[in-house]
Copies of this chain bind each other. A is one copy, B any other.
Amino acid sequence: MTKLFTFLFLLIGIISTQAQTLQSPNKNLTMTFSLTPNGTPVYELKYKNKPVIKSSKLGIETIDVPSFTEGFSQKGITTATFDETWQPVWGEQKNIQNNYNELVVSIEQKAVANRYINIRFRLFDDGLGFRYEFPEQSNLNYFTIKEEKTQFALAGNHKAFWLPGDFDTQEYNTVTSKLSEVRGKMKEATTPNASQHPFSATGLQTPLMMKSDDGLYINIHEAALVDYSCLSLELDDKNMILNAFLTPDAIGNKGYMQAPTQTPWRTIVVSDDARKILASKMILNLNEPTKYEDVSWIKPVKYIGVWWELITGKSSWAYNDMTSVKLGELDYSKTKASPKHAANTAHVKEYIDFASKHGFDAVLVEGWNEGWEDWFGKSKDYVFDFVTPYPDFNVKELHEYAASKNVKMMMHHETSGSVRNYERHMDKAYQFMVDNGYNSVKSGYVGDIIPRGEFHYGQWMNNHYLYAVTKAAEYKIMVNAHEAVRPTGLSRTYPNLIGNESARGTEYESFGGNNADHTTILPFTRLMGGPMDYTPGIFQTQINAYNPDNNSFVHTTLAKQLALYVTMYSPLQMAADLPETYNKHLDAFQFIKDVAIDWDETFILEAEPGDFITIARKAKGKNEWFIGGITDENKRTATVDFSFLPKGKTFEAIIYADGKDADYITNPQSYQIKKMKVTSKTKLKQPMATSGGFAISVK
Chain A interface residues toward B at CB < 8 A: 136, 138, 141-142, 144, 249-251, 253, 256, 258-259, 323-324, 326, 374, 378-381, 420, 423-424, 427, 451-454, 460, 463, 467
Instruction: Return chain B residues, CB-CB under 8 Å to A323.
Output: 138, 141
Instruction: Return chain B residues, CB-CB under 8 Å to A326.
Output: 258
What are 12 A-B pairs at a CB distance below 8 A? A138-B323, A142-B378, A142-B380, A144-B379, A250-B251, A250-B452, A251-B452, A258-B324, A258-B326, A424-B467, A451-B454, A451-B460
Q: What is the CB-to-nearest-CB distance from A627 to chain B, in angstroms, rounded to a whole number? A: 46
Of listed A138, A250, A380, A451, residue having the most chain B CB within 10 A: A451
Interface SS of chain A: helix, strand, loop or mixed? loop
Q: What is the CB-to-nearest-CB distance from A603 to chain B, in angstroms, rounded to a whole number? A: 43
Instruction: Return chain B residues, CB-CB under 8 Å to A138.
Output: 323
Q: What is the CB-to-nearest-CB distance from A415 to chain B, in angstroms, rounded to a whole number? A: 14
Chain B, Cβ-Cβ closest to A326: B258
Q: Is the CB of B324 within 8 A of A142?
A: yes
Q: Is the CB of A378 within 8 A of B424?
A: no
Cα distance, A138 to B322, chains bound together (Å): 10
Q: What is the CB-to-nearest-CB distance from A471 to chain B, in angstroms, rounded to a whole number? A: 9
Q: What is the CB-to-nearest-CB distance from A417 to chain B, in angstroms, rounded to a whole number? A: 13
User: Beyond the given A249-B452, A250-B454, A256-B381, could you list 7 further A-B residue pairs with CB under 8 A, ordered by the A residue number?
Assistant: A136-B324, A142-B379, A250-B251, A253-B452, A423-B423, A423-B424, A453-B453
4 closest residue pairs by CB, A with B: A250-B453, A250-B250, A451-B451, A142-B378
Of listed A250, A259, A423, residue having the most chain B CB within 10 A: A250
Instruction: Return chain B residues, CB-CB under 8 Å to A420.
Output: 420, 423
Chain B, Cβ-Cβ closest to A463: B381
Of listed A136, A141, A453, residue having the most chain B CB within 10 A: A453
Instruction: Return chain B residues, CB-CB under 8 Å to A250.
Output: 250-251, 451-454
* Copies of this chain present: 2
Cα distance, A144 to B379, chains bound together (Å): 9
Q: Is the CB of B454 within 8 A of A324?
A: no
Instruction: Return chain B residues, CB-CB under 8 Å to A427.
Output: 427
Instruction: Return chain B residues, CB-CB under 8 Å to A451.
Output: 249-250, 451, 453-454, 460
Cα distance, A326 to B258, chains bound together (Å): 9
Instruction: Return chain B residues, CB-CB under 8 Å to A258.
Output: 324, 326, 378, 380
Instruction: Return chain B residues, CB-CB under 8 Å to A141.
Output: 323-324, 374
Q: What is the CB-to-nearest-CB distance from A84 to chain B, in angstroms, rounded to a whole number? A: 25
Chain B, Cβ-Cβ closest to A137: B324
Cα distance, A253 to B450, chains bound together (Å): 13
Instruction: Return chain B residues, CB-CB under 8 Å to A253.
Output: 452
Q: What is the CB-to-nearest-CB distance from A44 to chain B, in angstroms, rounded to a whole number? A: 35
Instruction: Return chain B residues, CB-CB under 8 Å to A453.
Output: 249-251, 451, 453
Chain B, Cβ-Cβ closest to A459: B381
Instruction: Return chain B residues, CB-CB under 8 Å to A249.
Output: 451-453
Of listed A141, A258, A454, residue having the most chain B CB within 10 A: A258
Cα distance, A249 to B251, chains bound together (Å): 11
Q: What is the CB-to-nearest-CB distance from A152 to chain B, in angstroms, rounded to a whole number? A: 29
Chain B, Cβ-Cβ closest to A144: B379
Cα distance, A142 to B453, chains bound together (Å): 19
Cα distance, A178 to B380, chains bound together (Å): 43
Q: What is the CB-to-nearest-CB distance from A469 to chain B, in angstroms, rounded to a whole number? A: 14
Instruction: Return chain B residues, CB-CB under 8 Å to A463.
Output: 381
Cα distance, A141 to B451, chains bound together (Å): 21
Q: What is the CB-to-nearest-CB distance from A618 to chain B, in angstroms, rounded to a whole number? A: 41
Instruction: Return chain B residues, CB-CB under 8 Å to A423.
Output: 420, 423-424
Q: What is the CB-to-nearest-CB distance from A181 to chain B, in angstroms, rounded to a whole number? A: 34
Instruction: Return chain B residues, CB-CB under 8 Å to A379.
Output: 142, 144, 256
Cα distance, A321 to B233, chains bound together (Å): 41
Of listed A142, A452, A467, residue having the most chain B CB within 10 A: A452
Chain B, Cβ-Cβ closest to A139: B323
Instruction: Return chain B residues, CB-CB under 8 Å to A378.
Output: 142, 258
Q: What is the CB-to-nearest-CB distance from A97 to chain B, in angstroms, rounded to a whole number? A: 31
Q: What is the CB-to-nearest-CB distance from A377 to chain B, in angstroms, rounded to a whole number? A: 9
Chain B, Cβ-Cβ closest to A460: B451
Chain B, Cβ-Cβ closest to A261: B326
Q: What is the CB-to-nearest-CB distance from A255 to chain B, in angstroms, rounded to a whole number? A: 11
Cα distance, A186 to B26, chains bound together (Å): 70
Cα distance, A26 to B144, chains bound together (Å): 61
Cα distance, A251 to B451, chains bound together (Å): 10
Chain B, Cβ-Cβ closest to A142: B378
Q: What is the CB-to-nearest-CB distance from A601 to chain B, in angstroms, rounded to a whole number? A: 39
Q: What is the CB-to-nearest-CB distance from A249 to chain B, in angstroms, rounded to a whole number? A: 6
Chain B, Cβ-Cβ closest to A377: B142
Q: What is the CB-to-nearest-CB distance from A381 to chain B, in angstroms, rounded to a whole number? A: 7
Cα distance, A420 to B463, chains bound together (Å): 11
Cα distance, A109 to B23, chains bound together (Å): 75
Chain B, Cβ-Cβ closest to A258: B324
Instruction: Return chain B residues, CB-CB under 8 Å to A452.
Output: 249-251, 253
Q: What is the CB-to-nearest-CB distance from A133 to chain B, in angstroms, rounded to a whole number? A: 15
Instruction: Return chain B residues, CB-CB under 8 Å to A144.
Output: 379
Chain B, Cβ-Cβ closest to A143: B378
Instruction: Return chain B residues, CB-CB under 8 Å to A142.
Output: 324, 374, 378-380
Instruction: Return chain B residues, CB-CB under 8 Å to A136.
Output: 324
Q: What is the CB-to-nearest-CB distance from A276 to chain B, in angstroms, rounded to a whole number? A: 38
Instruction: Return chain B residues, CB-CB under 8 Å to A454.
Output: 250, 451
Cα distance, A138 to B323, chains bound together (Å): 8
Instruction: Return chain B residues, CB-CB under 8 Å to A467.
Output: 424
Instruction: Return chain B residues, CB-CB under 8 Å to A460.
Output: 451
Cα distance, A189 to B74, chains bound together (Å): 50
Cα distance, A460 to B374, chains bound together (Å): 20
Q: What is the CB-to-nearest-CB distance from A430 to chain B, in angstroms, rounded to a whole number? A: 13
Q: What is the CB-to-nearest-CB distance from A257 to chain B, in angstroms, rounded to a whole number? A: 10
Cα distance, A138 to B321, chains bound together (Å): 12
